[in-house]
Amino acid sequence: MKEIQTMAVAVVAVIISVVAITSSIALKPAAPTLSAGSVGNNELANDAVTGGKISDGTITDADITSGGISKIASGSVGSNQIADNSIALQDLSSAVASAITGVENIADNSITSAKIADGTITSDDIGSGAVTSSDIADGTITTGDLATVVSDRLGKVATRIVAADGSGDYTGIQSAINALPASGGAVYIREGTYTVSSSITVPSNVALIGAGAATKISLANGANTDVITANGAQNIIIADLRIYGNKANQTATSSGIKFTNVENSRISGCWIEESYYSGVYLSGSSSNVVTNNIVRSNGGWGIVLDSSASNNTISGNIVRSNDDIGIYLYYAFCNTVTGNTSQSNDGHGISLDFLSVHNTVTGNTSQSNHGCGIYVYRSSSNVLTGNICVNNSQTSAGTYDGIRLDTSDYNVITSNRCTDDQAAKTQGYGVNIGNAQCDNNLVATNVLSGNLTWSLNNIGVGTVAANNIPA
């Protein structure tokens, strides 16, 4: 949001220069000249600008080289260097847009996102005093036009402000999303509680951003639907929201956030809790990031990758006290699950199930879950490394293990710590290769001490076990 705010300052400054130029053009000086340091023949295209073209105003873009255009974009061409009225504001917009490259153009924070959205930018916001209220009020460039230039013409996203107290552009989240241009934009949701009885649907190229836990989206009693959904979309951001599924007052499947066939999107910094079904559910979705969320107390799974979900990254989340598995991959390929804490869930901490292959599960802590720390079933060629699986099998001592494989081949289990440090131990084996349908798995350099039953159990075929502690 700050980038939109501060970019507006640079854009307004460039537009101001253009207004000054076009205002000078309107005076039609009788004998305009090229001053020292101005555009010369070497910056025109093969001497294509003739005296006649200077007189009659027929200079075209093709007559000016890239060097000349760069001088126009940088503001080094003054009104005394323009000989006719053929270069207008709209002709410069593409050059201006290409000249503005990023944060190096930032000036200050005086133009807020709200002012961009509603067009109330004033000369005081600009700071330099170069544009006065009369410059804006003359009808040529209005405050509304400035907002349009900032958000649309120069490629920056449009912004809509949602506030429950009516101080923003909208009080409803879906209406704000629907008001964005077809190209997308950002919806910023201020603090407050927003109760919804139908799903909030997010299309492509839209960012839905709250103010943190104080921005609460709550599902109405009996709504029986997902809180936020996207289907067949891409380039979505869901961030800094508290999403409350109100599971005690639902009777049918509903998730906090559900993506179906969504690509290149991000869910970050959210609190996702009390959904009737799952906290975050990604189905058939690829190349998404789910990061730094708290996913807790949902009626089913915490985070799910389902049905050909691939190349997603699940990282840095705290997933706890859910009524089933914390992080669940089902028929999911080439995903990365890293740096998460999965704790006190009623099922396994992390589970790879039904042909989930080529996934990487690394650096996670899976602790005090009712099932296994990590469970792999009917899934092969996965890498489990550097994880901590401690004090699991909480409700049935000795039944579940730190890491367990069933009917799974060619998995790599290395450098994990699977231990139990409780006075009354519950975790069965550190690592359990649990049946004879497990072929050619590698179990090496793991710390497997202190478990209730024993360190390593191996019923598989062709298992390579080496350098585990204890041996």
Alpha helices in 27-88 (DSSP H): 51-56, 66-74
CA distance 467 to 406: 22
Burial class of residue 428 (count of CB atoms within 10 Å of its CB; 0-12, 13-18, 19+): buried
Nearest to 272 by CA among 311, 331, 327: 327
Of 197, 273, 233, 247, nearest to 208 by C-alpha is: 233
The pLDDT of residue 120: 53
pLDDT tens for the chain, 471 residues long, are: 434 343 333 333 433 343 333 333 333 333 333 333 344 445 455 556 555 665 565 666 666 665 554 444 444 444 334 444 344 334 444 433 343 333 323 334 444 545 445 555 544 444 433 444 444 455 444 444 444 433 343 344 589 999 999 999 999 999 999 999 999 999 999 999 999 999 999 999 999 999 999 999 999 999 999 999 999 999 999 999 999 999 999 999 999 999 999 999 999 999 999 999 999 999 999 999 999 999 999 999 999 999 999 999 999 999 999 999 999 999 999 999 999 999 999 999 999 999 999 999 999 999 999 999 999 999 999 999 999 999 999 999 999 999 999 999 999 999 999 999 999 999 999 999 999 999 999 999 999 999 999 999 999 999 999 999 996
| pLDDT for the residue 273 | 98
Query: What is the DSSP code string of 335-368?
Result: -EEES-EEES-SS-SEEEESS-BS-EEES-EEES
Q: What's the length of the chain?
A: 471
DSSP 12: H
Give me 180's structure tokens.
Answer: 């964005």
CA nearest to 414, candidates 457, 439, 443, 377: 443
d(CA 345, CA 421): 19
Q: How far apart, in Å, are the Cα atoms of 451 and each of 307, 337, 443, 471?
A: 35, 25, 17, 13
Pairing relation of β-strands 313-315 and 303-306? unpaired
Q: Cβ contacts of residue 464 below 8 Å, gap of 6+?
A: 440, 441, 442, 443, 444
Give the residue carrying structure tokens 């975790």. Answer: 427
**pLDDT of the residue at 288:** 98
